[in-house]
Amino acid sequence: MEQQSIITIKKAHTIENDISKSRFIAQIKPVESEEEAKQFIAEVKQHHKEATHNCSAYTVGDNMNIQKANDDGEPSGTAGVPMLEILKKLDVHNACVVVTRYFGGIKLGGGGLIRAYSGAVRDVIHDLGRVQLLPAIPTKVTIAYDLTGKFEHELASTTFIHRDTEYTDKVSYLIDVLATEYDDFIAFLNRTTASNFEIIEEDVKRLPFDIETP
């Protein structure tokens, strides 16, 4: 099955905002399943069990097939759903975010809560940054030693991703190639080796590339 490009995050991240004496701690983490999202939420709740609220939202699936939000005691619609809407607006797939609130004694009202929770999610994503996962083909290209000079010189100026080199009686290069650039890669191999190469392809995987967050 062909893998599509999606936007997500690379790693877990945490930020904290202080609004009207309340502490809002936003934690976001990449997840691959609903079970993983639920486990992350449970871990945050356990760590912040003295908090007033631990509100959450997550999306799972290449098409955001699973979308869930929880207000955790805040007035309905003022926390979880606004948090989820930011994930969707920024097109962040396969991620779970929990915003923990330690109440500081000043009520924010419905609009204030929506701004606080959605703002916390936007801030943690902006601070961390998003990545686009693009389909790529891992390859192993093997050539003779006398071809390596020209090959390595020209490879360094391409967008092909050189992961490693293996030396035996010949030289093998482990190179990841974006699926959209594969025809160009084969043309590159033919040109730099005079078609004297062996290639082994592995199953398509997705590689992260940093993108700007609007």
Instruction: Compute CA 200 distance to the chain's CA centroid, rounded to the nearest angstrom.
Output: 28
Return d(Cα 106, Cα 37) in angstroms, integer.
Answer: 31
What is the β-pairing status of strands 22-30 and 95-102? antiparallel
Q: Under CATH, which number does the domain 135-211 receive? A: 3.30.70.240
Which residues are within 8 A (CB) of 77 and not within 5 positions of it... i.e. 6 or more apart? 71, 110, 114
The predicted-structure confidence for 30-67, as pLDDT tens digits, reads as follows 999 999 999 999 999 999 999 999 999 999 999 999 99
The predicted-structure confidence for 113-161, as pLDDT tens digits, reads as follows 999 999 999 999 999 999 999 999 999 999 999 999 999 999 999 999 9
- Residue 92: band (very low, low, confident or very high) from pLDDT cuts 50, 70, 90: very high
Q: Which pLDDT does position 2 carry in this prediction?
A: 53
DSSP state of 4: P
Query: What is the CATH T-level fold of the domain 6-128, as seen in this structure?
Result: Ribosomal Protein S5; domain 2 (3.30.230)
Which residues are within 8 A (CB) of 163 and not within 5 positions of it... i.e. 6 or more apart? 138, 174, 175, 176
pTM of the full predicted structure?
A: 0.81
Return residue ranges of the chain for CATH 3.30.230.30: 6-128
The predicted-structure confidence for 1-34, as pLDDT tens digits, reads as follows 456 789 999 999 999 999 898 999 999 999 999 9
Return residue ranges of the chain for CATH 3.30.70.240: 135-211
Return d(Cα 64, Cα 58) in angstroms, integer.
Answer: 9
116 CB neighbour count, 10 Å cutoff: 21
Q: Computed over its alpha carbons, how large is the radius of gyration of the chain? A: 23
- Residue 106: band (very low, low, confident or very high) from pLDDT cuts 50, 70, 90: confident
